[in-house]
């Protein structure tokens, strides 16, 4: 049989394919799930991507050079669907609960945040006994008090347990989503709510957006004073072999980065100056000691 020559054009094409380097899209990828919940994540405006969740996510991404990184902004229901399906997704700063551990692997604590508080109008402080703290269980038992909150989220172990006992009661108004809704603040200012449950950093942020910072104040939830465990949150990834490998790498990053001033400052910048000293003390004495 005579030897059949390969056309020059075809041969050149084969050579080009062999010489092309492996494309970047061949890297493994992580999709980072985000919610609309400033100042945890800030997706728009002059402070875009300056939330403490944004900054910590960026620190971790910069160290995970073997992956490409994408993000999806959606509600928590969609988040959990992707985790339960075992997709290659992770999220920074999730409270660790028994329910979530069924479909997520968690890192060592990635955040230490101050616990949930009750946000009230300063002029209504006398209705709360002019005290700086209050028992949430007693407050929710008082059916003359209307309390608003964002559902589909966790507020930490102690607060979640209390809210679960009171779920569905008439004096509790729940809004859809994780974000501390501006509508809740508007209802508070109009007297349609007596208080809102939220985190102190988001309370400060949202009040400033509405120009009412000097008209509101926060009350400590006394049940949160029993310890700091419920104030710790972690990175979560899908509960499969891929997620376990990513979490192991993230733990190595956190062991190093949590010691740096830049890591601590990601959250600290959103605190009232009066809270910073306490935050640094507990960060040093409690947070850095937690490696599980």
pLDDT tens, position by position, 189-243: 999 999 999 888 888 888 888 888 889 988 889 988 776 655 789 999 999 999 9
Report pLDDT for 3: 40
Structure tokens at 147: 């309390």
Report pLDDT for 31: 97
Domain contains 261: yes
Domain CATH number, residue 148? 3.40.190.10
Per-residue pLDDT of the chain (292 residues; tens, 9 = 90+): 444 444 544 444 444 444 444 444 457 999 999 988 888 999 998 889 999 999 999 999 999 999 999 999 988 778 889 999 999 999 998 988 899 999 999 999 999 888 888 999 999 999 999 998 899 999 999 999 999 998 877 887 888 999 999 999 999 999 886 667 788 899 999 999 999 998 888 888 888 888 888 899 888 899 887 766 557 899 999 999 999 999 999 999 999 999 999 999 999 888 867 678 878 988 998 899 988 7
Q: Are residues 255 and 199 in the same domain?
A: no
Q: Are residues 43 and 95 in the same domain?
A: yes
Give 156's DSSP letter. Answer: -
Could you count the other beta carbons within 10 Å of the beta carbon of residue 143?
Answer: 9
Residue that is last in its domain, among 207, 226, 245: 226
CA distance linking residue 147 with residue 173, whole number of Å? 6
Domain range enclosing 249: 27-114+229-289
Report pLDDT for 164: 93
Q: Are residues 136 and 213 in the same domain?
A: yes
Task: For residue 67, report the phi and psi dihedrals to the nearest 5 degrees.
Answer: -120, 155
Residues 6 or more apart whose CB falls under 8 angstroms from that of 236 comprise 83, 90, 91, 94, 96, 100, 104, 105, 106, 107
Q: Are residues 89 and 142 in the same domain?
A: no
- How far, CA to CA in Å, does 125 sit from each of 35, 41, 57, 187, 216? 32, 30, 38, 17, 10
Beta strands in the chain (DSSP E): 28-34, 67-73, 89-94, 104-112, 117-121, 133-134, 147-150, 172-175, 195-198, 216-221, 232-238
The count of structural domains within the chain is: 2
Q: Are residues 132 and 92 in the same domain?
A: no
Q: Are residues 86 and 100 in the same domain?
A: yes
Domain contains 11: no
Report pLDDT for 151: 82
Report pLDDT for 17: 41
Domain contains 10: no
Residue that is last in its domain, among 173, 203, 226: 226
Q: Are residues 170 and 195 in the same domain?
A: yes
Beta strands in 114-206 (DSSP E): 117-121, 133-134, 147-150, 172-175, 195-198
Provide long-range contacts, Cβ within 8 A and 24+ apart, for 78-86: 79/33, 79/35, 82/31, 82/33, 82/238, 83/236, 83/238, 83/239, 85/238, 86/238, 86/239, 86/240, 86/243
Report pLDDT for 112: 86
Residue that is last in its domain, among 210, 226, 242: 226
- How far, CA to CA in Å, does 132 sit from each of 117, 118, 120? 10, 10, 11
CA distance linking residue 6 with residue 174, whole number of Å? 71
| CA-based nearest residue to 198, from 219, 167, 228 | 219
Task: For residue 255, report the phi and psi dihedrals to the nearest 5 degrees.
Answer: -55, -35
Q: Are residues 194 and 217 in the same domain?
A: yes
């Amino acid at each position: 049989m005579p030897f059949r020559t390969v056309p020059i054009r075809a041969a050149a094409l084969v050579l080009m394919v062999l010489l092309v380097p492996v494309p970047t899209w061949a890297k493994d990828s992580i999709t980072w799930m985000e919610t609309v919940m400033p100042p945890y994540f800030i997706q728009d405006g002059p402070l875009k991507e300056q939330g403490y969740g944004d900054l910590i996510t960026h620190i971790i991404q910069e160290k995970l050079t073997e992956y490409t990184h994408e993000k999806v902004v959606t509600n928590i229901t969609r988040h959990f669907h992707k985790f339960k399906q075992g997709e290659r997704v992770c999220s920074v700063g999730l409270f660790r609960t028994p329910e979530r551990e069924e479909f997520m692997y968690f890192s060592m604590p990635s955040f230490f945040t101050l616990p949930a508080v009750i946000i009230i109008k300063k002029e209504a402080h006398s209705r709360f006994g002019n005290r700086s703290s209050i028992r949430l269980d007693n407050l929710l038992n008082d059916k003359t008090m209307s309390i608003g909150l964002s559902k589909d989220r966790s507020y930490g172990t102690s607060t979640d347990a209390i809210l679960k006992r009171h779920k569905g009661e008439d004096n509790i108004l729940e809004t859809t989503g994780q974000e501390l809704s501006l509508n809740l603040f508007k209802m508070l200012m109009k007297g349609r709510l007596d208080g809102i449950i939220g985190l102190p950093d988001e309370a400060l942020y949202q009040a400033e957006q509405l120009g009412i910072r000097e008209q509101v104040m926060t009350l400590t939830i006394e049940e949160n004073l029993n310890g700091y465990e419920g104030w710790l949150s972690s990175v979560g990834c899908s509960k499969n072999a891929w997620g376990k490998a990513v979490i192991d790498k993230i733990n190595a990053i956190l062991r190093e980065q949590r010691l740096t001033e830049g890591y601590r400052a990601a959250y600290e910048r959103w605190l009232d100056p009066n809270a910073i000293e306490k935050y640094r003390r507990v960060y040093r004495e409690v947070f850095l000691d937690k490696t599980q």
